[in-house]
A and B are shown apart, each in its own frame.
Chain A
Amino acid sequence: MNAATPVVELKQITKRFPGIVANDSISLQLHKGEIHALLGENGAGKSTLMNIVFGLYQPDEGSIEVNGKPVVIDSPNKAIELGIGMVHQHFKLVEPFTVTENIILGMEPKKGFNIDYKSAAEQVTKLSEQYGLQVNPHAKIQDISVGMQQRVEIIKTLYRGADILIFDEPTAVLTPQEIAELMDIMKRLVSEGKSIILITHKLKEIMQISDTVTIIRRGKVIDTVKTSETTPSDLAEKMVGRNVTFKVDKKAPTIGETVLKVSDVVSKNKDGISVLSGLSFEVRAGEILGIAGVDGNGQSELIEAITGLRKIDKGSIMMLGKEISNLPPRKITEQGVSHIPEDRHKHGLILDFTVSENLVLETYYKPPYNKGGFLNAEAINNNAQKLIEQFDVRTPSIETKARSLSGGNQQKAIIAREIDKNPELLIAAQPTRGLDVGAIEFVQKQLIAQRDQGKAVLLISFELDEIMNVSDRIAVIYEGKIVGEVLPEETNDQELGLMMAGSKKRVGDDRG
């Protein structure tokens, strides 16, 4: 079947933006029934290319053929007409509307002047059964899980008659179980004759599901290969342009005194429900404590409690022997706590500030940046210049707004800022979420470097691989409590998974 005319063919697509060539003469063929992965680092030009296919951008050069016929895709409507659908990374759904309402939005079946909800719901159910996309047509978007919201997005494209589906980083927001479900859905879709372009930088997923991989680096196609004829390390090397090690190199930890001691912390939300219910653990100098757990078991609340953004009702949080619970955030920071937040756009950066302004976000009030109430622009700029060099933050200039940096470089900027403060305790929440291989490697190395310098590191992550590879000790959080502590070399994914699900407890292996 693959020998037939490709369903979509891109020929020599070039797209320039002021200052950069986002796509440089890219050619790509998608065949019927194929999952074609588009692999590349953040900023490599994958999204630009797909926005061209979906009609959001016009190519400067090159042409697109659909089913062998040259076409001009000048709007998303045109793309939909041609049977191209896109599942965006950030869902485009109306939260208070039901699943059905969202799916039919803009293409409502009419009965006289009214929308025919009954036949709409039937159609949704039919589609969901045909492709194994389990949804409740009458549930409101705000009440359903992220995984189901994504399925709604997929049905939306199918409802519009899409034969070619573009998935933009579809797994970035999903839990491991949801990822597995998505993989099944994608297989089902191609078996029903659809074709898929999968944009991703996760090698594991590519190896698992795709038929063909096209690797893009800096706007150029590096190679197109059959998945069965390649290896993850080969792909990674092509993507990054150099050799990448997957194993995290680290020596045995030199453990010192206790830096952070959290004991029996209880914190209630505004409804009076305990989100942290008697949680205890400690982090010592020179070690990385990984907190494993399924999203929503109190991780965010725990970080907020330590960093002073959430009041605790009971218990104590000691930093180097000093009580820091319920202190204002700045007092806690000044005790030597640095923090890489979970949501870098919401909490880590002020996107409309320049890079240099962002790099002093926690130190702007101290000399030399603050000179008698005035900002010292020279010191602020020097600091930025130093940090972007030291941490290899790629930015056109220090006056660039943080918004225009790629995700990896934004994260690097945050890490630069937090590590430069020379903290005693570094809290890293989901530090590699949404980053590509190169950036992940960088972030993990920085965490280990901190630990080797005798700092305490608290790592909170939903990625089991990361927890297993980076941590010296693992604590599992479940329903606002630490339900067990294990050493990475003495456990496995399965045991951790059971503990994360709350069905197995194991306490104090190394502490007695």
Chain B
Amino acid sequence: MDKFRKIFTLDNYIVPVAAVIMGLFVGAIVMLVGGYDPILAYSSLFTQVFGDMYDFGEAIREMTPFILTGLAVAFAFRAGLFNIGADGQLLIGMTAATFVGIKFTGLPFYIHAPLAVIAGGLFGGLWAAIVGFLKAKRGINEVITSIMMNWVGFYGANYVVNHFLLVPGTQQSENIAPTASISIHFLTGIFGNARLHWGTLIALVAVVFFYVYLWKTKQGYEVRAVGLNPNAAGYAGINVGRNIIKTMFISGVFAGLAGAFQVLGVFQYQSVFASSPGYGFDGIAVALLGMNNPFGVLLAAILYGTLTYGSAGMSFGADVPPELVKIVIGAIIFFIAAQGIVRWVLGPFYGKRKKEKVL
């Protein structure tokens, strides 16, 4: 229970919360400079998200992939790996889920839907495991390989959709069989047809899994040991290479699931993408914001989803270009990364009490 308490101690969260406030403040200044009304803009942003049930439901839908890609990046980071390839892993997972959803017909929903979800996670995981394998066996830097694998994944996904799943004359695949859908129909009713799906629940389970696996299991102990000091881990008889591959696999499963849910829960089909949807890169920002802690990632994804979804409201209500939200997000990440600035601003509020710790 001690660890649990530590996760929720105020101190850990003061910096991120302050960074968020300062980020919003920077956004407000930019709006003022541009001649917009920041108070109106932010209130329209929040009205957009919390204004009615449909938008609230859609905002939750928007947050789900951020939770999972955030977890993917954070998990790899715990083993000392920088997984920039969540984007490619997501697309490969998505494609696998779409493929199963369209081609495996005649199955009852309680087999078909889970099968499609598992296919998405599995293929995302295997895609990432290739990166882990190259790192473990050949010592190739995972940053380089995972970026390259993003492109391979991107064109690979489009190839599969184009050649096997396309509705002729369009730029998208057929719809998945209804038995593969993971929409929650009774909830979509309540939320005014917002596209809510079971994937959100699985994402929450993934948050808990992340925590339990890393801090409560034998395997998680190994992953953390490898992440903090691979030399000592090797000396202690932990197989460093195997742990790198395993960690990348689990990281990729998170990303792959994010992709699968976008098709099985949200769109019901997969597009031929002109450019990557970018969820994997947003995941890096979310992991950074959540300080690589699973519960932090969850909160960060909620914030990230709120800002992204609410940005549309901002342009309706206050005429502010929705891109301005990117400035806010950028500023927040900047303040998280440059914690010194935040502590400096907070200094007078903290008083002397904290001084030793800051040093």
Contacts and interface: CB of A to CB of B under 8 A. Distances in A.
A357 interface: yes
Interface string B210-239: 000000111111001100110111111111
B236 A361 contact: yes
Nearest to B2: A399
Contacts of B2: 399
Looking at chain B's contact residues, is the secondary structure mostly helix, strand, loop, or mixed?
helix
A454 interface: no
Contacts of A333: 237
A330 B228 CA distance: 19
Given A364-B218, A375-B218, A346 B237 contact: no
A373 interface: yes
Contact of A328 (B217, B220, B237, B357): B237
Contacts of A476: none
A346 B232 CA distance: 6
A17 B239 CA distance: 40
Interface in A351-376: 351-353, 357, 361-362, 364-365, 370, 373-375
Interface string B144-184: 00000000000000000000000000000000000000000
Contacts of A352: 228-229
Contacts of A348: 232, 235
Contacts of B225: 350, 353, 361
Contacts of A351: 228-229
A349 interface: yes
B228 A353 contact: yes
Interface residues of B, number: 22
A341 interface: yes
A346 B236 contact: no
A201 interface: no
B359 to A, nearest CB: 8
B234 A309 contact: yes
A128 interface: no
B356 interface: yes
A157 interface: no
B218 A341 contact: no
A350 B239 CA distance: 15
A349 B225 CA distance: 10
B228 A375 contact: no
A374 B216 contact: yes
A32 interface: no
Given A329-B237, A362-B237, A399-B2, A375 B221 contact: yes
A251 interface: no
A374 B217 contact: yes
Which of A330, A346, A361, A373 has the most CB atoms of chain B within a 10 A radius of its CB? A361
17 contacts: A17-B356, A307-B235, A329-B234, A330-B238, A333-B237, A339-B235, A346-B231, A350-B232, A352-B228, A353-B228, A357-B221, A362-B237, A364-B218, A370-B218, A373-B218, A374-B217, A374-B218
Interface of B: 2, 216-221, 224-225, 228-229, 231-239, 356-357
Interface of A: 17-18, 307, 309, 328-330, 333, 339, 341, 346-353, 357, 361-362, 364-365, 370, 373-375, 399
- Closest 6 CB pairs between A and B? A330-B237, A329-B237, A361-B236, A347-B235, A350-B229, A370-B218
